[in-house]
Amino acid sequence: MDGTLEKLEEASTAFSEENFALALEILEPLIARSVPGALGMLGVAYQLGLGVEPNGPKAVEFLLKATELGDGTAAHNLGTIYVTGMPGIEANKELSKKYYRKAKEMGAQYTDDAFYE
């Protein structure tokens, strides 16, 4: 085992403890290796401004890449961005529905079925 899961857990803990600099430092080598979970976490960091300035286009870029690599949670987060939009990203209900459905198909369902329809 290469320690990837442990590093993702460490980064998640650092984010939870609001130690954003440490979280981003832990993620850096994982992002360089295109680890889906790391790309998804970085996308959320840009979405919410956790240790970086909020940046809609960068959030979408990293979340899309994570989704393409199989991260269903990233697809769910894309759906959330498109519900209301954010600076640099316009709200788009159809894209929101698309990514919420994709998240469900990928096993990242966080509420009842009706939400994803």
Q: What are phi and psi of 50, to 5 degrees?
A: -95, 95
Structural domain contains residue 114: no
**Contact of 108 with 115, CB cutoff 8 Å:** no
**CATH number of the domain where residue 17 is located:** 1.25.40.10
User: What local confidence, expressed as pLDDT, does residue 2 receive?
Assistant: 81
Number of domains in the chain: 1
User: What local confidence, expressed as pLDDT, does residue 108 receive?
Assistant: 79
| 44-99 pLDDT tens trace | 999 999 999 999 999 999 999 999 999 999 999 999 999 999 999 999 999 999 99
**Contact of 41 with 59, CB cutoff 8 Å:** no
CA distance 113 to 4: 31
As a whole number of Å, the CA-based R_g of the chain is: 14
Residue ranges making up the domain that contains 79: 4-106
Whether 1 shows a pLDDT value over 60: the answer reads no
Instruction: Kindly compute the dihedral angle of the four CA atoms of residues 96, 98, 99, 104, in this order, to the nearest 10 degrees.
Output: 120
Show Cβ contacts of residue 61 under 8 Å, excluding neighbours closer than 6 positions.
43
pTM for the model: 0.90
Structural domain contains residue 80: yes
Show Cβ contacts of residue 18 under 8 Å, excluding neighbours closer than 6 positions.
none
